[in-house]
């Protein structure tokens, strides 16, 4: 059933936790109709944010769900492609199965979502697509072969999509966030501490010290940038890689 809405419609992939959750919350507070496509549900998320269970590795599922959203609301204004997984491994340590899974989610999931929203955005002659890349789209890190490559791919997608669809007034940009304090960050630190015996507080302090600004980023800071890029205040910004990393990549 179509429920035409005057609210801008924002689709967020991987919006249940961490940066994705902060983005959903930000757009919801700014009176958008927010759709969260995520395989997991966060019961603490606002009921105003509609969650649809979605395996982003399944292009058919992504297409079907996004089409359902468009039929229901009659529009789609913003797509934020945030869903992704991390893998810490060198090229030798990365198995073919691990590589395929990571690219199926991080890259192919973004491709599927983009393909699903473009026809409607073209008809509207308006739309914004944001890819959550990473500082690793710009610089390399150790033990990050596949993840680094996937984020560089998203940065490339932002640039090529921006050029191909500028004539439809569709803007595409990539957010290149640095080390952000999220539940996934703490899980990674806990895993490292468990295997190495290091002190968690010391490891956390060392991570903060790596950033020129002297601290880790916060998810709501990334969400604020995402909202700005999706707004009319940024309507001349497209094809860009927007860095939010406390100065890390300037070193």
The CATH number of the domain where 118 resides is what?
3.40.50.720
Residue 15 located in a structural domain: yes
Q: Over 90: is that where the pLDDT of 155 sits?
A: yes
Q: Which residues make beta-bridge pairs with 50?
A: 35
Q: Mean pLDDT throughout 46-64?
A: 98
Residue 206 lies in a domain: no
66, part of any domain: yes
With a CB cutoff of 8 Å and minimum separation 6, the contacts of 6 are none
Give the up-direction half-sphere exposure of residue 244: CA atoms within 13 A in the CB hemisphere.
Answer: 20
Q: How confident is the model at residue 184 (pLDDT cuts 50, 70, 90)?
A: confident
DSSP 31-89: T-EEEEEESS--TTS-TTSEEEE--TT-HHHHHHHHHHHHHHHS---EEEE-------B
157-175 pLDDT, tens per residue? Answer: 999 999 999 999 999 999 9
Distance CA 77, CA 208 (A): 36
Three-state secondary structure string covering 110-129:
HHHHHHHHHHHHHHHCCEEE
Give the Cα separation of 247 and 131 in Å (integer). Answer: 20
Residue 142 lies in a domain: yes
What confidence tens digit (pLDDT) does each residue in 194-215 have? 988 999 999 999 999 999 999 9
Q: Is residue 4 part of a domain?
A: no
Phi-psi region of 131 (alpha: psi -120 to 50; beta: other; left: phi over 0): beta
pLDDT category at 231 given cuts 50, 70, 90 is very high
Active site residue 73: no
When computed from its CA atoms, the radius of gyration of the chain, rounded to whole angstroms, is 18
pLDDT digits (tens, 9 = 90+) for 102-127: 999 999 999 999 999 999 999 999 99
- Average pLDDT (44-51) is 97
In a domain, 203, yes or no: no
Examine residue 1 and state whether it is found in any structural domain, yes or no. no
3-state secondary structure at position 135? helix
Q: Tell me the residue range of the domain where 134 lies.
A: 9-180+218-250
Tell me the C-alpha distance between 160 and 75, whole Å: 23
Identified catalytic residue from 131, 147, 165, 248: 147
pLDDT at 192 (0 to 100): 84
Mean per-residue pLDDT over the chain, rounded: 96
Domain count of the fold of the chain: 1
What pLDDT is stored for residue 2 in this prediction? 55
Does 32 reside within a domain? yes
User: At 12, which helix (H) or strand (E)?
Assistant: strand 9-13
């Amino acid at each position: 059933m179509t429920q035409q809405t005057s609210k801008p419609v924002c689709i967020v992939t991987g919006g249940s936790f961490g940066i994705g959750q902060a983005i959903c919350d930000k757009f919801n507070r700014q009176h958008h109709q927010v759709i969260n496509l995520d395989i997991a549900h966060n019961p603490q998320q606002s009921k105003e944010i509609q969650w649809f269970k979605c395996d982003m590795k399944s292009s058919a599922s992504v297409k079907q769900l996004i089409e359902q959203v468009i039929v229901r609301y009659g529009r789609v204004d913003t797509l934020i492609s945030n869903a992704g997984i991390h893998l810490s491994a060198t090229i030798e340590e990365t198995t073919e199965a691990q590589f395929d899974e990571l690219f199926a989610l991080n890259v192919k999931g973004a491709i599927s979502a983009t393909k699903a929203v473009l026809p409607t955005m073209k008809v509207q002659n308006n739309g914004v697509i944001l890819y959550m890349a990473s500082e690793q789209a710009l610089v390399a890190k150790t033990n990050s072969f596949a993840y680094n490559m996937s984020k560089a791919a998203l940065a490339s997608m932002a640039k090529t999509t921006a050029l191909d669809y500028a004539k439809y007034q569709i803007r595409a940009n990539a957010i290149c966030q640095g080390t952000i304090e999220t539940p996934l960050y703490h899980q990674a630190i806990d895993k490292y501490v468990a295997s190495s015996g290091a002190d968690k507080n010391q490891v956390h302090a060392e991570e903060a010290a790596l950033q020129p600004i002297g601290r880790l980023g916060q998810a709501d800071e990334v969400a604020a940038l995402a909202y700005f890029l999706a707004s009319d205040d940024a309507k001349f910004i497209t094809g860009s890689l927007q860095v939010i990393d406390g100065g890390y990549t300037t070193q």
